[in-house]
């Protein structure tokens, strides 16, 4: 058994020549590039018994020899793939079940029914050009460029990717080297393994925006470990939606990418006692910039697809409303293009790589006082309980005079509710699901209502951005403001009920 640690990057074929000639690669090269054909056959049962347990079994042909490999116990984290690999050389291309008995697949392999149902699922066939490089002084990696095809039945998908597999040293050196490459050649983070892509080809699903998923935190995890798991889950959601921001008209991709950014920023705020902002300030500033661009696009999406249609329905014949809608659509398109350009830019990829480096190396640990280090090393569940209590106290302090809160104060309350909700979602795997869901129900309803009130305020700001240089446009703007003001009055009438439901939810920690 060996541990495979590699950074996977996707690159366009048109940039392959530039990659081979770029200065960082030339300077780091320590061996002659060697090109070989790599042919893999992946096996599983029709029920995906191996894949469902996070394992992949393949036979690989390298020249005239065959190797059986089982990968298990890993996953992708901001492009960094970690797997336990169990390999054995084979004289012929037939699975060796006796070898599987010494792997995490032993229980499955002991069953005759499993062995009988195991069959080839798909093939990867590519040419790999590999060389040894020095990613940092005393640290080495294999630099491999793969170009070929994944074949699953009648479906085919091209392979064009770069893998940096650690040979000696620390994983953060891979990220640092990737950042140097990015200055010369554009690429994106590769979140999926070839095995995952092959299984996706077998059972294709329509692309869809990915909502936030609470991370699974081990009961024995430290507070610092919990933070890393939480931050990685936020980045996973962001990366899962970024291609949709660029290539899809579905506005939910921008929404979910923005949610991922908000959750990430909240995580850093909630953990600020053990992850000082000073240690991650530059990267957080970039996150804020990306979030602001996505936020502007999302605000216009809501205005154009939710607010204006309701007003247009009631004032269908009004020329000013029609003109206002056209102007709003133009501004919405501009903000959307800005969001696309932001996600497509190398600076966005650099931000993801830098976050991967930070989470791999945890540089904030060296700057902590002894008490903060002890807190970071302490149990995640204890940290969570303290966090929940503190955040609930902040929410209740804001809500004491609910009926008299100003617009700005309602906005502040919404932010505190959101932080509490995110905190609970981050740690929910450590607590009984039913109790967590009951508590979150009241928080979610209150947050949604406060969000609607905030949308009304945002509408006023957006209208200020639309030139109202004609009487029709000024009247139309007044109609929209009046419409949202009326909705605000209705929402405010329900605010007390939502608050009482939230107050009635029992803390579960």
Interval 421-451: pLDDT, tens? 999 999 999 999 999 999 998 898 888 889 8
The structure tokens listed for 95 are: 């699975």
Q: What percent of the chain has pLDDT over 70?
A: 99
How many C-beta atoms lie closer than 10 Å to residue 189's C-beta?
21
Q: Judge whether residue 76 has pLDDT over 80.
A: no
At CA 66, angle to CA 61 and CA 71, rounded to 5?
85
Q: Judge whether residue 456 has pLDDT over 90.
A: no
Interval 262-291: pLDDT, tens? 999 999 999 999 999 888 999 999 999 999
Q: Judge whether residue 490 has pLDDT over 90.
A: no
Average pLDDT over residues 2-22: 94
At CA 146, angle to CA 142 and CA 148, rounded to 5?
160
Tell me what pLDDT residue 97 has: 95
Interval 142-164: pLDDT, tens? 999 999 999 999 999 999 999 99
Tell me what pLDDT residue 455 has: 83
d(CA 297, CA 382): 39
State whether residue 76 is helix, strand or coil.
strand
Interval 343-377: pLDDT, tens? 999 999 999 999 999 998 999 998 889 999 999 99
User: 165: buried, middle or exposed (CB in 10 Å: 19+, 13-18, 0-12)?
Assistant: middle
Given a contact cutoff of 8 angstroms between Cβ atoms, the answer to whether 486 and 328 are in contact is no
Helix ranges restricted to H, 400-432: 407-427
SS3 letters across 144-163:
EEEEEEEEECCEEEEEEEEE
CATH 2.40.320.10 fits 2-202, yes or no: yes
Please name which of 224, 342, 247 lies closest in space to residue 286, comparing C-alpha atoms: 342
Backbone angles phi, psi at 358, to 5 degrees: -60, -45
Given a contact cutoff of 8 angstroms between Cβ atoms, the answer to whether 343 and 257 are in contact is yes
What residue spans define the domains of the chain? 2-202, 223-367+378-504
Please name which of 69, 235, 236, 82 lies closest in space to residue 165, comparing C-alpha atoms: 82
d(CA 464, CA 468): 8
d(CA 282, CA 351): 10
Q: Is the entire prediction scored with pTM above 0.85?
A: yes
d(CA 388, CA 395): 10
- Pairing mode, strands 139-152 and 155-168: antiparallel
More confident residue, 55 or 400: 55
Give Cα separations from 200 to 94, 143, 192, 235, 236 (angstroms): 25, 26, 10, 21, 18
Given a contact cutoff of 8 angstroms between Cβ atoms, the answer to whether 356 and 179 are in contact is no
Average pLDDT over residues 187-205: 92
State whether residue 398 is helix, strand or coil.
helix
Given a contact cutoff of 8 angstroms between Cβ atoms, the answer to whether 445 and 501 are in contact is yes
Given a contact cutoff of 8 angstroms between Cβ atoms, the answer to whether 8 and 175 are in contact is no
Q: Which residues contact 148 (CB under 8 A, 6 or more apart)?
A: 38, 124, 125, 126, 127, 158, 159
What confidence tier does 314 reach under pLDDT thresholds 50, 70, 90? confident
- For tokens 């085919």, name the residue: 156
How many C-beta atoms lie closer than 10 Å to residue 361's C-beta?
16
Q: Which residues contact 161 (CB under 8 A, 6 or more apart)?
A: 8, 9, 10, 11, 145, 146, 190
Please name which of 79, 59, 63, 205 lies closest in space to residue 122, comparing C-alpha atoms: 59
CATH class entry, domain 223-367+378-504 = mainly alpha
**CB-facing half-sphere around the CA of 181: CA atoms within 13 A:** 33
């Amino acid at each position: 058994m060996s541990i495979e640690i590699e950074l996977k990057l996707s690159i366009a074929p048109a940039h392959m020549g530039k990659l081979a000639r770029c200065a960082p690669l030339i300077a780091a090269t320590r061996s002659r590039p060697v090109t070989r054909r790599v042919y893999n056959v992946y096996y599983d049962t029709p029920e995906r018994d191996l894949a469902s347990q996070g394992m992949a079994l393949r036979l690989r042909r390298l020249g005239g020899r065959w190797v059986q490999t089982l990968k298990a116990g890993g996953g992708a984290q901001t492009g960094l793939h970690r797997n336990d690999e169990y390999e054995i050389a084979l004289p012929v291309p037939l699975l060796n079940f006796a070898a599987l008995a010494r792997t995490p697949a032993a229980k499955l392999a002991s069953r005759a029914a499993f062995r009988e149902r195991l069959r080839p699922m798909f093939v990867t066939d590519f040419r790999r050009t590999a060389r040894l490089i020095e990613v940092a002084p005393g640290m080495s990696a294999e630099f491999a460029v793969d170009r070929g095809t994944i074949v699953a039945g009648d479906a085919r998908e091209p392979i064009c990717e770069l893998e940096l597999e650690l040979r000696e040293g620390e994983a953060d050196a891979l990220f640092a080297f990737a950042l140097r490459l990015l200055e010369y050649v554009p690429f994106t983070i590769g979140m999926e393994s070839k095995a995952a892509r092959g299984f996706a080809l077998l059972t294709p699903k329509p692309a869809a925006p990915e909502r936030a998923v609470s991370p699974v935190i081990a009961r024995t995890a430290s507070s610092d470990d919990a933070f890393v798991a939480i931050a990685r889950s936020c980045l996973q959601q962001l990366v899962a939606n970024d291609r949709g921001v660029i290539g899809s008209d579905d506005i939910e991709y921008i929404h979910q990418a923005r949610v991922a950014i908000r959750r990430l920023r909240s995580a850093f705020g909630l953990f600020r006692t053990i992850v000082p902002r000073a240690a991650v300030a530059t990267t957080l500033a970039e996150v804020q910039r990306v979030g602001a661009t996505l936020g502007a696009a999302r605000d216009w999406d809501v205005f154009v697809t939710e607010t204006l249609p309701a007003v247009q329905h009631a004032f269908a014949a009004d020329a000013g409303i029609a003109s206002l809608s056209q102007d709003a659509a133009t501004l919405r398109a501009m903000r959307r293009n800005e969001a696309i350009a932001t996600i497509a830019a190398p600076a966005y990829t650099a931000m993801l790589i830098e976050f991967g480096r930070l989470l791999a190396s945890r540089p904030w640990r060296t700057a902590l006082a002894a008490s903060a280090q002890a807190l970071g090393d302490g149990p995640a569940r204890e940290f969570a309980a303290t966090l929940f209590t503190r955040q609930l106290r902040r929410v209740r302090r804001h809500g004491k005079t609910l009926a008299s809160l100003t617009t700005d104060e309602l906005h502040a309350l919404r932010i505190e509710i959101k932080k509490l909700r995110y905190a609970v979602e981050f740690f929910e795997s450590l607590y009984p699901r039913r109790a967590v869901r009951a508590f979150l129900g009241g928080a979610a309803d209150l947050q949604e209502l406060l969000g609607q009130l905030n949308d009304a305020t945002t509408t006023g700001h957006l209208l200020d951005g639309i030139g109202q240089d004609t009487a029709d446009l000024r009247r139309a703007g007044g109609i929209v403001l009046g419409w949202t003001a009326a909705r605000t009055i209705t929402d405010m009438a329900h605010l007390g009920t939502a608050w009482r439901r939230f107050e009635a939810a029992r803390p579960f920690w």
